[in-house]
Amino acid sequence: MEYLKVSQVLKEKPIGKEVTVKGWLRSVRKSKAFSFLVINDGSSQGTLQIIVDANSIDNYEKVSSLLNGACVRVDGLIVESGGKGQDVEMQGRIVEIYGETDDSFPLQKKATSLEFLREQAHLRPRTNLFGAVFRIRHQMAMATHNFFNDRGFYYLNSPILTAVDAEGAGEMFQVTNLDMNNLPKNDKGQVDYTTDYFGKETNLCVTGQLEGECFAMGMGSVYTFGPTFRAENSNTPRHLSEFWMIEPEVAFMDLDGNAKLAQDYIQYLIRYTMEKAPAELEAIDKYLAFSAKSNKEKFESHLPILEKVRDTKFEQVTYTDAIDILNKSGHKFEFKPEWGVELQTEHERFLSEIHFKGPVTVTDYPRDCKAFYMKQNDDGKTVRAMDVLVPGVGEIIGGSQREEDLGKLQTRIKEMGMSEDPLWWYMELRKFGTAPHSGFGLGFERAIRYVTGMNNIRDVIPFPRTPKSCDF
């Protein structure tokens, strides 16, 4: 008998055919003569209703007493459904029980909070909501590869283990195989890293950008898509200690080209997801509406807004003008906007949510707010940086044109009190055949939050890692 995924049964509607389906029970309605089993196998949002007749299967007593979450294989006949909301259903002939559940199964029908489900991260893929979120995550990953591949970019696997602090922010997780209880010391009393695995201090990467630049300066256009790690002590709905980043890097591209690429990419992500996962977007929207209603909060679906963003040019403003807008707004901020200081989340959200009412690209930040590698403007104060801010999330993309002048880069590194030594190879990109180039990093989970409307970044990554939390 042919085994079909539930999604195939719902799509192909093989009426009159005997097939096999396998999945987990979402509900069981039992009566003496027959029972309704509703199963889902994760292949789509859809469920298949299966009717089992007491007289036509031999383990009816056992099958009809199954609880939610049990796993079964069913052979049966696909028939037209009389029920509302479904075209086909199955008349079960043979039910094999793979795995039962009991009363302690945590995913019961009653509404379960997202906080509770985070503690059940191993089981939440079985819920309607998380199935939707993670199918969308998959589609957005596919969209990413399609988008860059179609534009002639090469997919680059940048290393995860590194000896450089590429953002210069000191937020790195150290990697070592030294015995923590018996650290070797040098004659100054400091840890002797020459005996460590790599013979020097090493970390998990915070970005793949610097390696991306090496390949852009040879292969033209590349993008990375991999995990990055930050040991920042931020317990917020938009920070993770381990997150995924997509970082395109392009030779001969200036900041305007970079901003255009960022817009095209975000719009492509939205278009692709709306096309490939409309049922998932709908299901999440329904959940968010329901949950807002239970909390007596106002709810406005983000789907119509998303559609507009997909089709409208992003606003663009310089950092200096943005500070001006914030100060003239009359809005009361916790932190007063001040030129020379990095924008706070409240400022980012004001700009995108209230002032521009959509995504906005902020450019030309003060150089002291940004990393050493950004191209210096002639004013001696700002750099060719860009952040893309979106409503609800804030910063979703950070990027820049890169400093291609060796002398200027060396001066900047010195000014920032950094050492050139571990960056000798990065400097050589400027020494040998330098060229203008630019790139950016999109936080994958922030983008998923934006597209799905989910409020917490912990709910769009399979197993979130945050300060003091690394379970599963």
Residues that bind ligand 4AD (CB under 6 A): 167, 207, 209, 230, 232, 239-240, 243, 245, 247, 395-400, 439-441, 443, 445-446
- Output 49 or 400, the one with its CB closest to Mg ion: 400
* Residue nearest Mg ion by beta-carbon distance: 398
Contact 210, 164 (CB under 8 A): yes
Identity of the amino acid at 336? K
What is the C-alpha to C-alpha distance for residues 345 and 57, in angstroms, rounded to an integer?
60
Judged by CB under 5 A, the number of residues near Mg ion is: 1
Sheet-wide strand order for 394-401: 154-156, 221-229, 242-251, 437-443, 394-401, 385-390, 360-363, 315-318
Nearer to ligand 4AD, 445 or 459 (CB): 445
Regarding 439 and contact with Mg ion (CB under 5 A), the answer is no
Residue placing its CB nearer to ligand 4AD in the complex, 18 or 254: 254
> Residue 211 binds which entry of ligand 4AD, Mg ion, none, with Cβ cut-offs from 5 to 8 Å by kind?
none
Question: Residue 247 — φ and ψ, nearest 5°?
Answer: -130, 95
Q: Which is nearer to ligand 4AD, 272 or 444 (CB)?
A: 444
Q: Which two tokens stand for residue 380?
A: 């001696």
Residue with tokens 């997780």: 173
Q: Indicate the burial class of 282 (C-beta count within 10 angstroms; 0-12, 13-18, 19 or more).
A: middle
Closest approach of Cβ 239 to Mg ion, in Å? 12
Minimum separation from the CB atom of position 351 to ligand 4AD (A): 15
Q: Which does 117 bind (CB under 5 to 8 A by kind): ligand 4AD, Mg ion, none?
A: none
Stretch that binds Mg ion, among 50-58, 279-287, 367-375, 390-398 (CB under 5 A): 390-398
Beta pairing class for 242-251 and 437-443: antiparallel
SS3 label, residue 268: helix
Given Mg ion, ligand 4AD, none, residue 397, with its beta carbon under 5 to 8 Å by kind, binds ligand 4AD
Indicate the residue among 41 and 165 with the shorter CB distance to ligand 4AD: 165
Q: Cα dist. 159→71, 210, 212, 426 in Å?
A: 40, 10, 10, 15
In the complex with ligand 4AD, the residue whose CB is nearer, 226 or 441, is: 441
At closest approach, how far in Å is the CB of 22 from ligand 4AD? 36
Q: Kindly state the smallest distance separating residue 266's Cβ from ligand 4AD, in Å.
A: 11
Q: Which of the listed partners (Mg ion, ligand 4AD, none) does 438 bind, with a CB threshold of 5 to 8 Å by partner kind?
A: none
Smallest gap from residue 236 Cβ to ligand 4AD (A):
9
- Asked whether position 398 contacts Mg ion by CB under 5 A, the answer is yes
161: DSSP letter: E
Q: Which is nearer to Mg ion, 70 or 388 (CB)?
A: 388
- C-alpha angle 330-349-242 in degrees, rounded to nearest 5: 150
| Shortest reach from residue 214's CB to ligand 4AD, in Å | 13
240 binds, among ligand 4AD, Mg ion, none (CB under 5 to 8 A by kind): ligand 4AD
Shortest distance in whole angstroms from residue 438 CB to ligand 4AD: 8
Among residues 301, 273, 275, the alpha carbon closest in space to that of 287 is found at 301
Least distance to Mg ion, CB of residue 430, Å: 23
Q: Which is nearer to ligand 4AD, 350 or 444 (CB)?
A: 444
- Interface pattern 406-425 for Mg ion (x via CB under 5 A): --------------------
> In angstroms, what is the minimal distance from the CB of 267 to ligand 4AD?
17
Distance CA(89)–CA(108), nearest Å, equals 24
C-beta closer to ligand 4AD: residue 439 or 453: 439
Q: How far apart are CA 7 and CA 131, in angstroms?
A: 13
Parallel/antiparallel/unpaired status of strands 174-175 and 202-204: antiparallel
Contact partner at residue 230 from Mg ion, ligand 4AD, none, CB < 5 to 8 Å by partner kind = ligand 4AD
Separation of first and last alpha carbons in the chain: 37
Taking CA atoms, 111 is separated from 129, 143, 294, in Å, by 12, 32, 10
Residue 245 binds: one of Mg ion, ligand 4AD, none (C-beta under 5 to 8 A by kind):
ligand 4AD
For 156, 220, 230, 467, the CA distances from 234, given in Å and listed in that order, are: 29, 36, 10, 7
In angstroms, the CA 238 to CA 64 distance is 44
Q: Quick check: 443 binds Mg ion (CB under 5 A)?
A: no
Please choose which of Mg ion, ligand 4AD, none residue 247 contacts, taking the beta carbon within 5 to 8 angstroms, the exact cut-off set by kind.
ligand 4AD
Least CB distance from residue 212 to ligand 4AD, whole Å? 7
The binding track of 342-381 with respect to Mg ion, each residue x by CB under 5 A or -, is ----------------------------------------
Count of alpha carbons within 13 angstroms of residue 154, beta-carbon side: 14
Q: What is the DSSP code string of 385-430?
A: EEEEEETTTEEEEEEEEBP--HHHHHHHHHHTT--SGGGHHHHHHH
Provide, rounded to whole angstroms, the least separation between the CB of residue 253 and ligand 4AD. 12
Structure tokens at 336: 């007063």
How many Cα atoms sit within 13 Å of 344 on the Cβ side?
Answer: 9
List residues near Mg ion by CB under 5 A. 398
